[in-house]
């Protein structure tokens, strides 16, 4: 029993530490004006055309997700999109949904793009697959997922993506020194994640640096920094429930549901099971539950990653990135109805996930 608890802590402890620390980083950066300034720069680059601005934002979201991880995109890019919309007086919904969906669907290409990818590496290694082999296998399904997502986003929001806008200077930051420190920290954390340093340690150091800066420059902000303890507890409970269920027969059930083989239908079955599991519980415990019954072939393991990375778009708890995104939206006073999130997310998951599995089946 003690060993099981230790294993669980070792698995989810770093995830929860990252989640709490990166939220603190985002809260302070938002208060310092980092996202307002970044939004202003992006708006100027769009040359007063909403569609160009949106496409630039799409490219930024894809690059951020691929190289800096989906959680970084959810935390650091969501406020940029919302700041852009607020400054230009345009609807924030297309930018909010772009960040949410691409944070998930663009997180397949590199191992650092998603924690599930990192968790899968030891299985790929056991199958004789190197990091380069992983990237080659993921390239086609990752590209297809992004294309499918962008098409669905455009079709759903095209009425709000055409027209022109004028840019206005962002509000003066509360403290220019704090702005520079917070901006430097935000620019530093992404590359540190990308080179393979522990996301938990990087985010903790970043949070400590910013907390010290706030304490020295603007101590009145400290009581207003929201720490998501309840959300962290909820994620922990999910992992505990999955562990208990696996130990009491769930693994055998999942082996039957996930099927076998590497035919297009078999890969679609694995992807669908992963997506459904992610939307029911969360993509991390869903991956943890299914990895052992899909790790018999690289194609099946990649199909599972498609399901748990591209598929968790329907429920608000389907991925940690979705929880982080919702938190950033609430902080900016933006709320999207759960019903809207669900039906539009289902359409995107179906299109992007279907294209991704098809690309995997053709190229693997």
Assess contact for 189 and 203: CB atoms under 8 A. Answer: yes
Domain boundaries, the chain: 2-363
Query: Cα angle vertex 106, ends 104, 108, to 5°?
Result: 95
Comparing C-alpha atoms, which of 130, 125, 37, 34 is closest to residue 75? 34
Comparing C-alpha atoms, which of 238, 333, 332, 348 is closest to residue 31? 332
Q: Percent of the chain having pLDDT more than 90?
A: 46
Q: What is the rounded average pLDDT for all residues in the chain?
A: 88
**DSSP bridge partners of 49:** 164
pLDDT at site 169: 63
Assess contact for 22 and 71: CB atoms under 8 A. Answer: yes
Residue 15 has pLDDT above 80, yes or no: no
Q: Percent of the chain having pLDDT more than 70?
A: 96
**Cα distances (Å, whole numbers) of residue 61 to 32, 36, 64, 65, 96:** 22, 17, 5, 6, 11
Separation of CA 221 from chain center? 27
- Please state whether the predicted TM-score (pTM) of the whole model is above 0.85: no
Mean predicted confidence (pLDDT) in 273-292 = 90
pLDDT tens by residue, 20-55? 888 888 889 888 888 888 878 888 888 889 999 999
Residue 233 CB coordination number (10 Å): 11
Give 4's contacts (C-beta < 8 A, 6+ positions apart). 243, 247
């Amino acid at each position: 029993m003690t060993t099981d608890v230790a294993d669980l802590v070792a698995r989810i402890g770093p995830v929860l530490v990252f989640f709490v620390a990166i939220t603190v980083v985002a809260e302070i950066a938002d208060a310092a004006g980092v996202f307002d300034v970044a939004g202003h720069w992006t708006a100027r680059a769009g040359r007063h055309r909403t569609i160009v601005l949106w496409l630039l934002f799409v490219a930024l979201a894809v690059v951020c997700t691929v190289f800096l991880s989906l959680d970084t995109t959810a935390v650091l890019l969501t406020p940029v999109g919302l700041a852009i919309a607020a400054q230009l007086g345009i609807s924030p919904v297309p930018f909010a949904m772009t960040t949410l969906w691409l944070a998930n669907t663009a997180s397949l290409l590199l191992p650092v793009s998603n924690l599930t990818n990192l968790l899968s590496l030891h299985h790929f290694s056991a199958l004789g697959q190197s990091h380069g082999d992983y990237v080659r296998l993921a390239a086609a399904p990752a590209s297809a997922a992004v294309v499918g997502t962008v098409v669905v986003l455009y079709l759903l929001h095209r009425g709000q993506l055409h027209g022109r806008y004028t840019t206005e200077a962002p509000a003066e930051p509360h403290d220019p020194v704090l702005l520079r420190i917070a901006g430097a920290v935000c620019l530093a954390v992404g590359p540190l994640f990308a080179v393979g340093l522990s996301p938990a340690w990087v985010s903790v150091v970043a949070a400590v640096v910013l907390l010290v800066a706030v304490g020295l420059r603007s101590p009145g902000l400290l009581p207003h920094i929201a720490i998501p303890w309840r959300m962290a507890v909820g994620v922990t409970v999910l992992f505990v429930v999955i562990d208990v269920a696996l130990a009491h027969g769930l693994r055998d059930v999942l082996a039957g549901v996930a099927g076998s083989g590497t035919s297009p239908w078999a890969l679609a079955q694995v992807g669908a099971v992963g997506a459904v599991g992610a939307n029911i519980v969360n993509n991390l415990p869903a991956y943890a539950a299914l990895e052992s019954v899909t790790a018999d072939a690289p194609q099946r393991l990649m199909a599972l990653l498609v399901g748990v990375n591209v598929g968790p778009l329907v429920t608000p708890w389907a991925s940690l990135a979705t929880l982080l995104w919702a938190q950033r939206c609430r902080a900016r006073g933006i709320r999207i109805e759960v019903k809207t999130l669900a039906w539009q997310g289902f359409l995107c998951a179906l299109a992007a996930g279907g294209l991704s599995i098809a690309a995997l089946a053709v190229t693997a």
